[in-house]
Amino acid sequence: MASCATNPYSKTNREHKKQLKEYSKQLREFPPQLDNGATLLNFGEHQAGTTNFNLRKPNYVIIHHTAQNSVEQTLMTFTLPRTQVSSHYVISRNGEVYQMLNDYYRAWHGGSGKWGNTSDLNSSSIGIELDNNGFEEFSPAMINSLIDLLKVLKERHKIPDANFIGHSDIAPSRKVDPNPTFPWRLLAGEGFGLWYDEIIETPEVIIDGRPLPGSIEIQVLENEITPNTKIEEESPLDIDPEIALRIIGYDTSNLDAAIKAFKLHFIQTEVNGVLTDHDLRVLNNLYKKYM
Ligand SMILES: [Zn+2]
């Protein structure tokens, strides 16, 4: 909001506007100026600009933690040309939202990464940076503001539930943000990101009218169970874990890193490259939601 105090970013804001002007000029070109590749094309005699179009829209939201100590530090980082990093939004610990770039421009927050077959996530996503040192919990004020922002973005750009993801999801070998305290489950409940059906955490297998203590497999039919059945030994995942991870969107070229990223997002307790029975059940439940 407007403030009487001098804006410490007035100088870089001028530079920001200068760049906007340059890009606007590029967007207004008609016919577009030919680059080297296009000069070889066999164009027809007349240029005909369509009258039916609008702006391209982002289709993903990527959530980050800044790994910095204050929002001022991050605003500074994103206004220094030499850092070559930025995001559309930054949210402070007390829940203040800073929009640093129009949604329709491409911020530099994702770096090299992949989700499904989408490789240039910066071109198709909005980046949100949360002011967090990388280890601390995310304050309720920050999460409330984040949810408000996500509602606006989801409505504005019609972003699907599944496309709210974390930086570590798209860059498992390089990134671990947002940290394991991030409330993905809460967000999924609001329609931002997917979550597994938690019934698999507290399943009950009924035998002779009584729940079988410690039973963990809910897919087994009642008449197949005897008290001696070692259901823990049955495979909880019906396909190769690598394929399940790829269906969700993970780049599995480094499988160990992909498993860690999956656990950082959906398990959050032991973030390592090992898939326990419980993790496999979560994976089994989840990959079908992404199909
Ligand atoms: Zn990040």
- Predicted confidence (pLDDT) at residue 152 exceeds the cutoff of 90: yes
Residue 1 has a pLDDT of: 55
What average pLDDT does this structure show over 36-63?
A: 92
> How do residues 176-187 score in pLDDT, each as one tens digit?
999 999 999 999
Share above pLDDT 70 across residues of the chain, in percent, rounded to a whole number: 86
How far is residue 141 from each of residues 97, 129, 146, 289, measured CA to CA in Å? 11, 15, 9, 30
Taking the centre of ligand 1 as the mean of its atom positions, its distance from the CA of residue 112, in whole angstroms, is 11
Residue 221 has a pLDDT of: 37
Taking the centre of ligand 1 as the mean of its atom positions, its distance from the CA of residue 167, in whole angstroms, is 5
> How do residues 26-47 score in pLDDT, each as one tens digit?
999 998 887 877 878 888 899 8
What average pLDDT does this structure show over 51-74?
A: 97
What average pLDDT does this structure show over 213-221?
A: 44
Instruction: Give the catalytic positions in this structure.
Output: 129
- Residue 249 makes CB contacts below 8 A (sequence gap 6+) with 115, 116, 165, 169, 290
Q: Residue 88: how many CB atoms within 10 A of its CB?
A: 25
The answer to whether the beta carbons of residues 100 and 145 sit under 8 Å apart is no
Taking the centre of ligand 1 as the mean of its atom positions, its distance from the CA of residue 63, in whole angstroms, is 7
- Residue 127 makes CB contacts below 8 A (sequence gap 6+) with 62, 64, 86, 87, 88, 89, 107, 109, 110
> How do residues 158-200 score in pLDDT, each as one tens digit?
999 999 999 999 999 999 999 999 999 999 999 999 999 986 4
> How do residues 101-129 score in pLDDT, each as one tens digit?
999 999 999 999 999 999 999 999 999 99
Alpha helices in 51-125 (DSSP H): 71-77, 121-124
Model confidence, pTM: 0.87
118 burial via Cβ count (<10 Å: 0-12, 13-18, 19+): middle
What average pLDDT does this structure show over 85-92?
A: 98
Task: Tell me the residue ranges of DSSP E strands in 50-199.
Answer: 60-65, 89-91, 97-99, 125-130, 164-166
- Residue 86 makes CB contacts below 8 A (sequence gap 6+) with 78, 100, 101, 107, 108, 109, 127
Taking the centre of ligand 1 as the mean of its atom positions, its distance from the CA of residue 9, in whole angstroms, is 23
Taking the centre of ligand 1 as the mean of its atom positions, its distance from the CA of residue 130, in whole angstroms, is 9
